[in-house]
């Protein structure tokens, strides 16, 4: 958690430094630009009052001979060209200042977003710390607390089903559909498969609604297929979670992430990085919990995803 928070704070400091540099450059350009613009405007006003065209003809008509005439005309032409060139350069500087001003505004917006992310991150960390501390206090051999954790995970799984049904009904009918061919969402080994299994402590059978991929915190999680994000955020025991709608009643879920790259309503393509592996929510260590659901109900992902043999290891 500290590493995640430090990451955001480091980014904020770097963006503040860049903002200071951009602001200094902008002020320097303005200091050079302002007097030049003022001098040029004053000169143009003077020339306007002097009626430059008539003065120019008077200057030419006072030529002593033809050579003097051409010489005077050449000098007038140089004056006009110099004014035009100065105006062009001033226009370029004006455009540059506008671009720098836009950069400053854009950087300020980025800093505001980072500041908000830090605030959210702190809030998430405090909430997760409170949950974990409560669990640590309760789980010391307390089977009732262990059962409560299992029930919480089951409850969250049902909640995800309701969320998918609700979001699918309320989503835009024009949704980025999937290819129907699901790819492996993470390169780590599969440590747990889908299905009912006997709980070693509580007894009774409990459903593990997906497959788990072991991985280092921060390693990338990829969209298994193209689709549209219908949820991105914190969801109970799943921690930071992404749910993608692929059309035809198929959705995928990616749980326990440390960082999310996508937001609700965003279209994603197969193989696009959408999050980073973490251990948020009710998790015993860093891993990706991956589910495929048909009509909001979990199905075995291995029926649709061809996981390489080396990732399956010793699993049946």
Task: For 302-314, give one letter per residue: b (16+ CB within 10 A) or e.
Answer: bebbebeeeeeee
What would the DSSP string read from start to end of 9-55?
HHHHHHHHHHHHHHHHHHHHHHHHHHHHHHHHHHHHHHHHHTTHHHH
Joined together, the tokens standing for residue 255 give 């749980």
pLDDT tens for each residue of 30-43: 676 667 667 766 66
Q: 116: part of which helix (H) or strand (E)?
A: helix 66-138
Phi and psi, residue 230, nearest 5° = -110, -10
Would the pTM of this model clear 0.85, i.e. be above it? no
- Higher confidence at residue 149 or residue 302? 302
Query: Taking a C-beta distance cutoff of 8 angstroms, is the pair 253, 243 a contact?
Result: yes
Question: What CATH architecture is 154-312?
Answer: Distorted Sandwich (2.70)
The pLDDT value recorded for residue 8 is: 67
Q: Which of 220, 288, 217, 284 is nearest to 252 (CA)?
A: 288
Query: Taking a C-beta distance cutoff of 8 angstroms, is the pair 229, 262 a contact?
Result: yes
Binned at pLDDT 50, 70 and 90, residue 290 comes out as very high
Q: 2: part of which helix (H) or strand (E)?
A: helix 2-49
The pLDDT value recorded for residue 257 is: 96
CA distance 217 to 240: 13
pLDDT tens for each residue of 129-186: 887 777 766 655 566 666 777 777 788 888 899 888 887 655 554 456 677 889 999 9
């Amino acid at each position: 958690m500290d590493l995640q928070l430090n990451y955001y704070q480091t980014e904020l400091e770097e963006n503040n430094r860049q903002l200071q540099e951009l602001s200094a450059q902008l002020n320097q350009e303005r200091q050079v630009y302002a007097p030049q613009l003022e001098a040029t405007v004053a000169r143009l006003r003077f020339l306007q009052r002097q009626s430059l065209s008539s003065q120019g003809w008077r200057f030419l008509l006072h030529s002593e001979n033809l050579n003097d005439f051409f010489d005077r005309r050449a000098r007038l032409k140089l004056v006009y060209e110099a004014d035009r060139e100065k105006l062009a350069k001033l226009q370029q500087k004006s455009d540059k200042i506008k671009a720098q001003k836009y950069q400053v505004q854009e950087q300020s917006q980025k800093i505001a977003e980072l500041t908000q992310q830090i605030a959210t991150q702190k809030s998430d960390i405090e909430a997760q710390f409170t949950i974990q501390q409560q669990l640590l206090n309760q789980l010391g051999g307390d089977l009732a607390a262990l059962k409560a954790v299992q029930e919480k995970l089951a409850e969250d799984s049902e909640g995800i089903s309701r969320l998918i049904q609700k979001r699918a009904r309320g989503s835009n009918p024009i949704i980025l559909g999937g290819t129907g061919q699901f790819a492996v969402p993470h390169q780590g080994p599969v440590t747990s498969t889908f299905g009912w299994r006997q709980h070693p402590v509580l007894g009774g059978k409990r459903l593990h609604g997906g497959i788990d991929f072991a991985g280092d915190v921060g390693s990338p999680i990829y969209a298994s297929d193209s689709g549209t994000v219908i949820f991105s955020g914190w969801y109970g025991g799943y921690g930071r979670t992404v749910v993608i709608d692929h059309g035809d009643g198929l959705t995928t879920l990616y749980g326990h992430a440390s960082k999310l790259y996508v937001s609700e309503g965003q279209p994603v393509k197969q193989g696009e990085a959408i999050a980073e592996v973490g251990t948020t929510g009710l998790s015993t260590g860093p891993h990706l919990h991956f589910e495929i659901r048909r009509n909001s109900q979990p199905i075995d992902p291995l029926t649709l995803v061809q996981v390489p043999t080396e990732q399956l290891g010793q699993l049946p």
